[in-house]
Amino acid sequence: PDGSTCLPVSSRALFTTLPNLPIARLCGERADRVGGVAPLYYGVEAGGTKFDCVVGCGPDDVRERVLIPTGDPTSTIGRSIEFFEEVSARLGPPQAIGIASFGPIELHRDSVDYGRLAATPKPGWSGVDLVAPFRDAFDVPVCLDTDVNGAALAEWRWGAGRAAANLVYLTVGTGIGGGAIVEGSLVHGRSHPEMGHVSVPRAGSDTYPGRCPFHQDCLEGMASGPAIEERWGRPASALGADLEAARDLEAAYLAQGLRQLVYVLSPERILVGGGVSKMPGLLDAVRRHLVKALAGYGSPIDDGLVSSPGLADRSGVLGALALAESALSTKD
């Protein structure tokens, strides 16, 4: 969309324990055309409540999309593959498939557990292989990453992060998670980032214990949607007279989490999505609290540092297409 022409990078850059390689932007009159025809990608945003399956090439070229409720692994993955097989019969097979999944997942390709979910609260899904069924069904490269890394990539590729070399995408909803791009590369290492589990100082005299089953009062434990509902007795969308107080407390905790991201990753843009982010006035309150949390140390921040995703609720599913795009030059 910005008129430049670049080549795709191997998806191995996304899964290596070596230093990350840059992810190429694929834009304009596209260099990634196959035989003069724009490639067709299949994408899956694999979530705890639904599998969002999409066929297309980007935000302006979504040809088919279906939502499949997340049930048991066999039926959910099977229905996703059946949808893609039906599409393949009409539109043709994919050049690559991207999967942006809930986690935790094993992303190291040299691991015997590559492509599998680790221990997850979702009943029946621990240890499930997300890659092999799709690769076996279509015999094309499959690129797997976390849903938030996928969303970060989509926002960098097509959305509000297009002008940034360094950005963070943070989702605040049932849980809190984040993905980061630094100097054009998705951040990986020993595992994928777990931004929702950083420690945050308690706000004032707050005595709420937190609801994270692992850390209790980490960022997710104090500021996720379920934490809001447990603390106030109703969800963020129905706070009524408690909205102002709840928003201020939520913003204070999110700002403490963002302070750590600002100092560690130095992002040019922090995009905050997820259901809780739609709380009226929340991002303005986060910006104010973040200025206080930084206390004047470091480079000044502007009003554009913290903003909403440019792709709105489509960041995750378009992230699956962006991951497929990045896998095009890899033959598993």
3-state secondary structure of 307: strand
- Per the CB < 8 A criterion, the answer to whether 178 and 196 are in contact is yes
Three-state DSSP state, 69: strand
Amino acid at 149: N
Query: Please, which residues bridge with residue 144 across strands?
Result: 99
pLDDT of res. 37: 64
Whole-number Å distance between alpha carbons of 288 and 292: 7
Tell me, what's the pLDDT at 121? 80
| CB burial string 245-266: b at 16+ within 10 A, e below | ebbebbbbbbbbbbbebbeebe
Q: Write out the DSSP string of 92-105.
A: ---SEEEEEE-S-B
Query: What are the tokens at 78?
Result: 């099977």
What pLDDT is attached to residue 36?
Answer: 53
pLDDT for 5 equals 26
Q: Is the dihedral of CA 29, 31, 32, 38 positive or negative?
A: positive
Which amino acid type is present at position 66?
A: V
Q: Indicate the SS3 state at residue 51.
A: strand
Length of the chain (residues): 332
* Closest alpha carbon to 41 in 259, 332, 317: 317
Residues of the chain with pLDDT under 50: 1-34, 330-332
> pLDDT tens digits for 162-188?
989 999 999 999 999 999 999 999 999
Six-digit token string for 324 = 């497929």
